[in-house]
Amino acid sequence: MKKAIISLLSTVAIIATVASCANHKKEPATTPKVYVLVHGAWQASYVWDSVRADLVESGNKVIVVKLPGHGSDTTAPHLLSLNVYRDSVINAISATDNNVILVGHSMGGMVITSVAEKIPHKISKLVYIGAFLPTTGQALTDLAYSDPGSKLGPLLRPSADQLTLDVKPDSLTYLFINDGSPASKELVLTNYRAEPAIPFANKVTLTSEGFGSVDKIYIKTLQDIVISPALQDRMIAAAGIKTVYTVNTSHSPFLAEPHTVSALLLKAGQ
């Protein structure tokens, strides 16, 4: 009889343990978001390093696009166009089966707009960070020339063949990262190279079925002197964007306040 009671108690204990484990079983992890990050002019993929680390640490996947003609890429300027940039991003997106959150900064806004027109079904959201946001028929130059609040124009120096644009060296950090740390300013200076000019003049053709069908978010850079807040407001209104966040930084918030940008991108992905 004693053995039977002990056996019964052991069975009860095992059942209780199994039930307890079942009750404390972790919920399956949600599918990670896939962020695709596109840098702007006179910069390169290095600008996303801190933001990328934050997003990955939060359990997401990140693809950082290296645009041709930037960073260490040696593609000749005369071979570059907005469509070449667009196709490099599309190729990067093709590496994942998931829909992506496509993020563009500055000139990168022109690029992600073109990508969204081409493959809207692959993009869950477009996120513009202090970026050019065109309407159909516009080029980057059309938007830039309409911005009296920008300090960039007078500080540009075109090459003799008109294929590249330089920024006056003593104005580089003033324009792009005047609120940054000495280390972030040094990053911009060390990685600087002249910008290919042809893509600036390439116009976009957009449709409601393509670009118009994708959800959009804009992150305004409130202390921006490259793309003024006034122009950002006009582009946001023209695109009909309802979700707008702000960062109180210069043109390069991912360098000045990377964790703030990461938090906003995580919020955008919800």
**pLDDT tens string 4-20:** 444 433 443 433 443 44
208 within a domain of the structure (yes/no): yes
pLDDT for res 267: 96
* Distance, CA of 166 to CA of 168 (rounded, Å): 6
Angle at 140 between CA 260 and CA 222, to 5 degrees: 30
Helix residue ranges, H only, the chain? 2-23, 49-57, 82-93, 108-118, 140-145, 172-176, 182-190, 229-239, 253-256, 258-268
Reported as a single tens digit per residue, the pLDDT across 63-89 is 999 999 999 999 999 999 999 999 999
179 within a domain of the structure (yes/no): yes
* Backbone angle region of 96, left / alpha / beta, with phi > 0 → left and psi within -120 to 50 → alpha: beta
108 within a domain of the structure (yes/no): yes
- What CATH number is attached to the domain comprising 243? 3.40.50.1820
72 within a domain of the structure (yes/no): yes
* Distance, CA of 236 to CA of 228 (rounded, Å): 12
Phi–psi pair at 128, nearest 5 degrees: -100, 130
Q: Give the three-state DSSP class for 154.
A: helix
Average pLDDT over residues 136-142: 98
Across the chain, mean pLDDT equals 91
Residues 134/158, Cβ–Cβ less than 8 Å: no
Say how many residues make up the chain. 270
Helix axes 108-118, 82-93, angle to 10 degrees: 60
12 within a domain of the structure (yes/no): no
70 within a domain of the structure (yes/no): yes
pTM of the model: 0.88
Q: 179: domain range?
A: 34-268
**Of residues 215, 167, 225, 232, the one with CA closest to residue 195:** 167
Reported as a single tens digit per residue, the pLDDT across 97-138 is 999 999 999 999 999 999 999 999 999 999 999 999 999 999
Average pLDDT over residues 179-206: 97
Say how many domains are in the chain: 1
8 within a domain of the structure (yes/no): no
Reported as a single tens digit per residue, the pLDDT across 7-61 is 433 443 433 443 443 343 333 346 789 999 999 999 999 999 999 999 999 999 9
pLDDT band at 232 (very low <50, low <70, confident <90, very high): very high
28 within a domain of the structure (yes/no): no
Residues 68/95, Cβ–Cβ less than 8 Å: no
Phi–psi pair at 19, nearest 5 degrees: -65, -40
